[in-house]
Amino acid sequence: MSSDTNVIVGNNFHPQTLSKMEKKFRLHHLWKLDEASRKECVDSLSGRCHLAVTASWSCDEEIYNLKSLRLISAFGVGVDGINFDRTQAQGVRVSNTPDVLNDAVAELAIGLMVASTREIIAADQFARTNKWLQGPFRLGSSLKGKTLGILGLGSIGQSVAKRITPFGVSIAYHNRSQSNSQYQYCPTIIELAEISDVLLCLLPGGANTNQLVNGAVFDALGPNGIFINLGRGNSVEENDLINAVTKKKIKLACLDVYENEPHISGALRSLENVILLPHIGSATVETRTKMGDLVIRNIEAFLENEQLVSEVFA
């Protein structure tokens, strides 16, 4: 692959991947430039650059001003950071990095289910503060016999279900339409929450999922219910979640994504019955390497006039 091939880089999405790309392509890092310099860079590349790479959850709007742009190879699965109105109008193709992160996200989901039902985080603090001297820690709950409700049963949800069923956990799910699945289908989110002991949200971002998980859902989940969000922060009405946790309408919440990340509200940070993670769903060395390799493979397929490995059709 020619090192003369120009590629615009929208943000510092994965330094190791960018280091690999430096050996294959001529990179132009918009994220290192001020606003005026970004515009100059894009203007200077018009007609000479057809490729851009970016995080899937955030894309510099200046990229769309490159008139010769033909492909955005995005790092990540959820492409809510991509402006598909612009890409479609300009004939720009988009790719993402699905499937290679299923294992990592599923592992985290299982870990949070175990940590929350057995109250591992609270137990750690109990031991560290010497409260054990005053008596034993409260009893947790077993996963066996529980029902996991999966909101958004895609490839990641299937990976979670495959891993958790040996624990003796039943699976139910809600999608916009019933899929060819062995698991119990619930026509509404409320019905799913009502039968779930743990409600796992794996919804993608975007207008179609905005604040679908609200106070009514938490009321249906109930005071013994656990809510886990590994999808996108915008799918949850955050004030309703804070209210549900504060008033113990649900037992516990585990969050890896937030409406305005990396900013986490002070109310969430002050609550003891909330486990907060800094969006680490796919954050393993192995997974991020595979995601970066797929970003590069999509670019190489485009340059060789081959079918993209993972094109996104909005």
Helix pair 285-303, 15-22: axis angle to 10 deg: 40
Q: Is 279 a catalytic residue?
A: yes
Q: For residue 79, what are its two tokens?
A: 């492409």
Instruction: Report the Cα 82 to chain-centroid distance in Å.
Output: 14
- Contact of 296 with 24, CB cutoff 8 Å: yes
Q: How far is CA 272 from CA 114, 125, 275, 276, in A?
A: 17, 11, 8, 10
- Residue of 29, 70, 93, 279 marked active site: 279
- CA gap 86, 76 in Å, rounded: 19
Residue 93: DSSP 8-state: E
Q: Residue type at 162?
A: K
Q: How many residues in the chain? A: 314
**71-75 and 49-55 beta bridge pairing:** parallel
- Residue of 107, 261, 300, 311 marked active site: 261
- CA gap 212, 188 in Å, rounded: 11
Q: HSE of 264 in the Cβ direction (CA atoms, 13 Å)? A: 13
Q: For residue 142, what are its two tokens?
A: 């077993």
- CA gap 7, 218 in Å, rounded: 45
Q: Is 38 a catalytic residue?
A: no
Instruction: Report the Cα 86 to chain-centroid distance in Å.
Output: 23
- Residue of 38, 232, 237, 259 marked active site: 232
End-to-end CA, the chain: 29
Q: Is 28 a catalytic residue?
A: no
Return the active site residues: 232, 261, 279
